[in-house]
A and B are shown apart, each in its own frame.
Chain A
Amino acid sequence: MTDNTSGVSAGTERTAQGTRDVPVFSPTTDIHETADALIVTVEMPGIDKDGVNVALEQRELTIAGHCRPFVPDGFALTHAEYREGDFERSFTLSDAIDGSAIQASMKDGILTLTLPKAKPEPSKTINVTAG
C-alpha cells in the first residue's frame, strides 16, 4: 500500500491549490485487510456525503472531499484550533480490486470504503503439442 502523497503526513496541507479559496488537507486514514476486501476509513469532518468523490483507476485510489465552510450568521470566530478545508489523498493499492463492486458509506464524518479483491483468473492449462 503506497501513499502517493508521500512526504505529507496526515492532517497537513498540500501546496497544490485548486481554484477554490480553501486549503487542501491530507485526511487521516486507516486501511485494513479482510479475507476478501480492503477496508479504508477516512476522517473527513465537516464533509457532507454529496461532497465526496472516490475514483479508482488501475490500482490508484483517489479520495476527495469538498467542504462547505461553516459561517454562522451573526457570529465571529474568536478562537480557532482547527481549520476547515477540502481533503484529498491517493493510494496505490497492492491488491487488484474489483472496481465494479466498491462500496462507500459516510457516517459521522468518516468515509468507509469496502474494496473487494478481484477474484484471481482461473488458471489455464496449456497443452504442448508436438511440432
Chain B
Amino acid sequence: MVRYSPGTALWSDPLSTLRRIQEEMNRGVGGSRWHATTEFPPLNVWRGEGGVLVTAEVPGVSIDDIELTVHQNTLTIKGKSVPDGNVPEESFHRRERHYGPFGRTIALPYGVDSDGVKATTNNGILTIELPRPETEKPKRIEITQG
C-alpha cells in the first residue's frame, strides 16, 4: 500500500493522480475502498475554477463533533467518533467499527478566507467548500509593446 502524504504532492497535476488510481486498480489492490491512506477520515479533493471542495467519509460522526480550522493555506479537520451507548464487550458478535479521536491536516493550493468556508454533513459525508479569494485568483497581465 502506498502511503500518500498530503501536502505539496496533493497539488501535483491531476493526471498523475488519475494515473496513480489506475495503477492501483491494475495492481489488484484496487479492490479496496480506500486508496492510498489508512488515515481517518479518508478525503477526496476536488478542484474547480471557483475553489476547492474537500469531501470526507465520516460515518457515524455528528457534525457537532467535528472541528474545522483554516489558517492561510492549511485546512485541519479534527473530531471524534463516539459509540452509541455503552455496550458491554461480551455482547458483541462482530466488531469491525472503530471509534476515537481523529485529525487530518492538508495544504491547500492557496490561502483561503475562512469567512467564505462552508461545511455540511450529509449521510456520513462531510463536504467542505473552500472558495478561492479574489486576491488569489490569477490575473491576466496585458503586455504592451515598448
Query: A residues engaging B (CB < 8 A)?
Result: 1, 3, 10-13, 23, 25, 28-34, 38, 41, 43-48, 70, 72, 74-83, 85, 94, 106, 108-110, 112
**Cβ–Cβ contact B123 & A72, under 8 A:** no
Q: 0/1 per residue, B25-50, Cβ < 8 Å to A? A: 00000111111110100111111111
Q: How far is the CA of A20 from the CA of B65 in the complex (A)?
A: 35
Chain B residues near A79: list those with CB within 8 A: 4, 6, 10, 17, 43-45
Task: Give how many B residues have a beta carbon under 8 Å from the other chain's beta carbons.
Answer: 46
Contact with A along B110-145 (1 / 0, CB 8 A): 000000000001011100000000000000000000
Q: A29 — nearest CB in chain B belongs to which residue? A: B96
Can you list 20 A-B contacts with CB-CB less than 8 angstroms, sorted by A residue number? A1-B94, A10-B96, A11-B33, A12-B31, A13-B30, A13-B33, A29-B96, A32-B93, A41-B60, A45-B57, A45-B124, A72-B53, A74-B49, A77-B44, A77-B45, A78-B14, A82-B43, A110-B60, A110-B124, A112-B84
Q: Which B residues contact A (CB, under 8 angstroms)? A: 4, 6, 10-11, 14, 17, 21, 30-37, 39, 42-50, 53, 55, 57-62, 84, 87, 91-97, 121, 123-125
Q: Which residues of A contact B97 (CB under 8 A)?
A: 28-30, 41, 43
| Cross-chain contact of B34 among A1, A11, A109, A110 (Cβ < 8 A) | A11
Given A76-B48, A108-B58, 12 other A-B contacts at CB below 8 A?
A1-B94, A3-B94, A30-B92, A31-B93, A33-B93, A34-B91, A77-B17, A78-B11, A79-B4, A79-B6, A108-B124, A110-B124
Majority SS at the chain B contact face: mixed
| Shortest distance between the CB of A21 and any CB in chain B (Å) | 14
List 8 tightest A-B contacts by C-beta distance, closest first. Answer: A109-B124, A45-B124, A109-B59, A75-B46, A75-B48, A81-B42, A79-B45, A82-B42
Give the distance in Å from the alpha carbon of A78 to the alpha carbon of B128 in the complex.
15
A116 to B87, CA, bound (A): 17
Of the candidates A23, A78, A81, which one forms a contact with B35 in the assembled complex, judged by CB atoms under 8 Å apart? Answer: A81
Known: A41-B84, A74-B48, A78-B45. A83 touches B35 (CB 8 A): yes
B33 touches A82 (CB 8 A): yes
The residues of B that contact A76 with a CB separation of less than 8 Å are 14, 46-48
Bound Cα distance from A13 to B29, whole angstroms: 10
Interchain CA distance A79-B84 in the complex, whole Å: 32
